[in-house]
Structure 1
Amino acid sequence: MKGRASPQRTILVDGKPLPELLDEAMIRAVVHGFYADVRRDPLIGPIFNAALAPDEWPAHLDKLCDFWSATLLRTDRYGGRPLPPHLRIPGLGEDHFRRWLSLFRDTVQRLCPADVAALFMDRALRIAHSFRLAVAFSRGEDTTTIAPIAGDGL
């Protein structure tokens, strides 16, 4: 039986079609470029390098690519829980989240067109805020005073 080809699914993000240039290759470039910078960073590099042995990084980068693919391209490749490992990091605080966001911003601005960089940053800012709230809550801290970090405040 002949039929019509199934139409390509249009992914909408905040009511707008996803930029065509955002694909798996761009996600991979961002993830790998960003975490190369993270691993060398004097503030947050030691946290990541203590948590992951050198031979564990390839699998972790694959998992992070899956996470961003699910987050931005709406694939179903990621099935993990990203928050729990962060809750176990002693002393994780505001400076760490700001540095993570600053490095991420630098990476996406370097590698992506402006509209794609903005989409990545919007999601990163939301994730950082959610994680900051969860970390504070898990420590029994007052979360009502935690405001989102603004991208222009990095």
Structure 2
Amino acid sequence: MNASLPPAAASPAPSGLDEDAVRRLVHLFYERVHKDAVLGPIFSSRIKDEAWPVHLAKMCDFWSSVLLKSGRYEGRPLPPHLALGSDAGDAQFARWLALFRPTALEVLPPDAAQAAIAHAERMAHSFRLAIGFHNGEDITRATPFR
């Protein structure tokens, strides 16, 4: 049996969360990623300096779609992460979240920051599980990044 569930009702965006806030979040976060000793080399080896504006625009579209339900992002975010291989392990996802959380808290109003962080934590866990499965890792004891 293949019953489909009704779509979840779209909840309104938290107060103070708009396209400008998403843009500030994305740009400050990736500025920090770019300078980070762990994540910077991973991103720099795959995204050349001249391609950063395109990547940032894509990430703004992605986070706008996630947080504001704008529908602007058209793509599949998992395949590029699968291609990272060992550069997408627990340490890298934990570091990504360690940069994302304070950036969200700094840039966004409290409710919006908590919503963004919750989405980021779920995505990091989901991506990590998918990557581990793809790589043949034992993911039975994987715990969410919190």
The answer to whether structure 1 residue 45 and structure 2 residue 44 are counterparts is no
CA deviation vs aligned residue, 1:25-79 (integer Å, no higher than 9, x gap): 0000000000000000000110001010000000110000000111111111111
Where 2:85 maps in the other structure, the secondary structure is: coil
Where 1:147 maps in the other structure, the secondary structure is: coil
- 2:67 and 2:85 map into 1 onto residues whose CA distance is 30
Q: 1:58 aligns with which of 33, 43, 53?
A: 53
Q: Are the aligned partners of 2:15 and 2:109 in contact in 1 as well (CA < 8 Å)?
A: no
Offset at residue 20 of structure 1 (A): 2.8
Higher RCO (C-alpha 8 Å, min separation 6)? 2
- 2:117 and 2:62 map into 1 onto residues whose CA distance is 15
Moved more, 35-44 or 110-119: 110-119
Structure with bigger gyration radius: 1
Q: 1:142 aligns with which of 132, 138, 144?
A: 138
Structure 2: unaligned runs, 5 residues or longer: 1-8
TM superposition score normalised by structure 2: 0.90
- 1:18 and 1:61 map into 2 onto residues whose CA distance is 21
- Runs ≥4 residues deviating over 4 A: none
Aligned Cα RMSD in Å?
1.2
Q: Are the aligned partners of 1:34 and 1:103 in contact in 2 as well (CA < 8 Å)?
A: yes
Counterpart residue number, 1:112: 108
1:114-133 superposed matches below 5 A = 114-133=110-129
The answer to whether structure 1 residue 87 and structure 2 residue 73 are counterparts is no
Structure 1: unaligned runs, 5 residues or longer: 1-9
Counterpart residue number, 2:67: 72
Offset at residue 88 of structure 1 (A): 1.0
The answer to whether structure 1 residue 97 and structure 2 residue 106 are counterparts is no
Q: Are the aligned partners of 1:32 and 1:61 in contact in 2 as well (CA < 8 Å)?
A: yes
Which one-letter code corresponds to 1:82 in the other structure? P
Where 2:20 maps in the other structure, the secondary structure is: helix
- 1:80 and 1:23 map into 2 onto residues whose CA distance is 21
Where 1:32 maps in the other structure, the secondary structure is: helix
Offset at residue 142 of structure 1 (A): 1.7
Counterpart residue number, 2:27: 32
TM superposition score normalised by structure 1: 0.86
